[in-house]
Structure 1
Amino acid sequence: MPTENISIATDAGHELAGSLELPTGLVRGAALFAHCFTCTRQSKAAVATARALASGGIACLRFDFTGLGGSEGEFGRAGFATDVADLVAAARYLTDRFGDRILLVGHSLGGAAVLAAADDLGFDKVAAIATIGAPSNVPHVLERIEGDLAAVRQRGSGPVSIGGRPFELSREFLERVENTDLVAEVARLRVPLLLLHSPTDDLVGIENATVLFKAAKHPKSFVSLDGADHLLLDERDAEFAATVIAGWSSRYLPLRDDWPMPDDGIVVKSGHGKFGTEVHTASHRFVADEPVSYGGDDSGPTPYDLLLAALGTCTAMTMRMYAQRRKWPLEGTTIYLTHERNHEEDCEHAIEGEEGSIQALHRRIALEGDLTDEQRDKIMEIADKCPVHRTLEGHLHIHTRRAD
């Protein structure tokens, strides 16, 4: 997926670093991902979720909270209220750019932050919320801090360790975390909610999900991340959570009514990748692209892949139709197709308006079933008579005109 590095201005005057994962094709909506406590936008859960959403047409922004990763500001003086303010600033960037309502996704304390931020952002701006391993009690995160918190309160600031990393925390940070009533925030929500939590989470216990689920209004859903750890360090767990969120969110960020779904033929529209292009038929949509070796994102089949697919699928359908009409025991076919050409040379010729090199399509067909030799020969003969084959070898004229 194409990734755009962006900078988001906060009301506090510093910049937040973000990575916007864009669909290769058209954008059906936007999402915002809030990472876990002291993590960054590069966490496995953040990357997996953002890319899964982008593959479904949802642009997803993952960013670093104040003082973490590439973002400016002091983490030790920020606190939970600053995380919420960061989310509101990032969400407004998305709504200004893409419009409509957005999806909020948060992991661990980031999950608590998106639940609290929805009210500040405005429920009319939020399509839905999904959380992963979110705590119901925000002060719970203080239990992960190693150090003399009493001394921090007394002196106003002091050194601590979080996850083995040194930080300088302020009294303000602790007070902002302690003065948050997340359950009350969830009870006020008026948007669809999805809670994902592992029953074996040893950092934020499953009972947190129970409290949040009971407090929330319908529509609400729960998915158990069986066997996963809190940080989703196993890529399979991160990918599973990402896939679930992407599938669930499609209900709340549906295809736009103004997307081109033709009554006849197809419509092709340029997307956000270097070569990414979206294809719409009357009832289907998919993305075509070029491989990474040619400068693309490899997010879909190439134009020549589609050409070979058209020939191969038409061949298989024609052979099957012929065998069925004669009640021959053709159980299936496997067709191998390749395209013989010089891709770089042909592209250069096309740009210069010159004739390309001679090309060839190669097709190998395996027939399955208890067929006689005569039946096999006849079915192979029919393969050369499929409609796409005839089109490619016939007198084909392509008429081009400008659409004003």
Structure 2
Amino acid sequence: MATRKSTKLRIPHPQEDCELVGILEQLTPEEPTQGRKIALILHGTMGHKDYLFQKRLALHFPMDSFRFDFRGNHESGGQRTQGGFARDVEDLVTVVSYLRNAYGYEIDVVVGHSRGSVVGMHWLCTSEEGQRAHAMINVSGRYRMHRMISEFTFLDNAETYKEQWDTKGYFERSYTVARQAVVERIYPHDLKEFSQWNTEIVWDNFPAHIDVLTLHGLVDKTVPVYDAIIYSRALGARTPGTHSLHLSEEADHNFTNRQDEVVNCILEWWDALNQGRLKTGIWMTGVRGKL
């Protein structure tokens, strides 16, 4: 009986002297991969390839998948910056090229959380391979990028950040990634670059045939739920592609303690998609009789 296989890959980066580290999950590793479909799973800011629901989804998704650390995150080399979306897109292009040339894979699905969603949607809008994809899953994706600047004033350490900003020209933010302490310096140009990233590209350039699922928590304090409504409006007007919106009543930005809900929702939506049962609108799973 065929068994799932997990393989760690180290992909050389053509733009920088570093490697991108990721995990390839294969359902039938003994069979040829030429022309086989694969899902990409992309983490968000301060995340990594096994963060939140990413690994759990990869181990249950009925398709080969690849999840990796973007440049400067966890096991991947190089330097990350707060506003470096273009660099993240380069990383994604590098990964896609490697999977295609080394294995013959064709990207069919992109799953992104937060920043990973923004990067994934941009890649779908701008790449030849993206035009051939089948589906996109957007978890907690940000649309109104300019709000990031004002939101920094509401952080718990806002006064400390302002003092550092005034005296040093940057501020330092500490957080933990994969149980390791990380200190990140954020400069004014980082926030400016972040705020100017073009998410409006989805209105005119997102492939019309791609079906999209957007999941967002109603108590998300990082990205307002209204951003999910905007994506629903932008992507729900396409045809033949559909847009399904799933709002989780008690979920925050990371769906803390609700990872199973994310995975189950995605799997149920995927099953409905492949059975031809999707229509643009609200997607609610497992709630009938439990309201």
Matches within 5 A, 1:311-390: none
Change over 3 Å in CA distance of 1:88–1:186 after alignment to 2: farther
Change over 3 Å in CA distance of 1:7–1:252 after alignment to 2? farther
After superposition, the Cα gap between the structure-2 partners of 1:250 and 1:187, relative to the gap in structure 1 and judged at 3 Å, is: farther
Equivalent residue number for residue 182 of structure 1: 199
CA distance in 2 between counterparts of 1:85 and 1:250 reads: 31
| Structure 1 pair 222–5 and aligned structure 2 pair: CA distance change class (3 A) | same
C-alpha change, 1:52 and 1:169, in structure 2 (3 Å) is same
- Counting helix residues as a fraction of each chain, which structure ranks higher? 1
Taking the aligned partners of 1:17 and 1:139, their CA distance within structure 2 comes to: 31
1:129 and 2:152 matched = no
One-letter code of the match for 1:201?
Answer: D
Name the CA distance, whole Å, in 2 between partners of 1:233 and 1:77.
23
Secondary structure, in 3 states, of the residue corresponding to 1:47?
helix
SS for the counterpart of 2:200 is helix
How far residue 251 of structure 1 moved from its aligned partner, in angstroms, is 6.4
User: 1: CA distance between counterparts of 2:82 and 2:232?
Assistant: 31
Residue 266 of structure 2: aligned partner: 245
> Which residue of structure 2 aligns with residue 83 of structure 1?
88
Residue 17 (structure 1) aligned to one of 21, 37, 40: 21
Higher gyration radius (CA):
1
Extract unaligned runs of 5+ from structure 2.
177-181, 276-291
Q: CA deviation at 1:212?
A: 1.0
CA distance in 2 between partners of 1:41 and 1:184 (Å): 26
Residues 1:101 and 1:65: Cα distance change in structure 2 (over 3 Å): closer
Matched with 2:185 is 168
Partner of 2:280: none
The letter of the residue matching 2:78 is G
Contact in 1 for aligned 2:40/2:107 (Cα 8 Å): no
Q: Deviations over 1:108-150 (max 9, x none)?
A: 1111111112123234332211111111123444535763499
Equivalent in 26, 30, 41 of residue 49 of structure 2: 41
Q: Using CA pairs under 8 Å that are at least 6 residues apart, name the structure with larger relative contact order, 1 or 2.
A: 2
What is the CA distance between 1:226 and its match in structure 2?
A: 3.0
- Root-mean-square deviation (CA), in Å? 2.9
Aligned counterpart in structure 1 of residue 228 of structure 2, from 194, 209, 233: 209
Q: Do 2:10 and 2:22's aligned partners in 1 also have CA atoms closer than 8 Å?
A: yes
From 79, 100, 123, give the equivalent of 1:117.
Answer: 123
Superposed CA deviations along residues 9-58 of structure 1, whole A, max 9, x for unmatched, are: 333222111111222576762111111211111212111221121xx1x1
Give, as a single letter, the amino acid of the residue that structure 1 aligns with 2:142.
P
TM-score normalised over the length of structure 2: 0.74
How far apart in 2 are the matches of 1:3 and 1:223?
30
The 3 A distance-change label for structure 1 pair 200 and 85 is same
Q: For residues 134 and 141 of structure 1, do their structure 2 counterparts lie closer, same or farther at Cα, with a shift above 3 Å needed?
A: same
Q: Indicate how the Cα distance of structure 1 residues 34 and 186 shifts in structure 2: closer, same or farther if over 3 A, else same.
A: farther
In the alignment, the residues of structure 2 paired with residue 77 and residue 203 of structure 1 have an alpha-carbon distance, to the nearest angstrom, of 15
CA contact (8 A) 1:81 1:177 kept: no
Separation in 2 of the partners of 1:35 and 1:109? 7
TM-score (norm 1): 0.54
Contact 1:198 1:228 in 2 (8 A): yes
Percent identity, aligned pairs only, is 20
- Secondary structure of 1:89's counterpart equals helix
- The unaligned stretches of length 5 or more in structure 1 are 255-404
Structure 1 position 172, deviation (Å): 4.8
Residues in 2 aligned to 1:214 and 1:87: alpha-carbon distance in whole angstroms: 26
Change (3 A) 1:18 1:100: closer
Are the equivalent residues in 1 in contact too, given 2:143–2:230 (CA < 8 A)?
Answer: yes
Q: SS of the residue aligned with 1:21? A: strand
Kept in 2, the 8 Å contact 1:5–1:19? The answer is: yes
Q: Which of 231, 244, 248 in structure 1 is aligned with 2:254?
A: 231
Say if 2:148 and 2:191, in contact at 8 Å, map to a contact too.
no
CA distance in 2, matches of 1:148, 1:253: 50
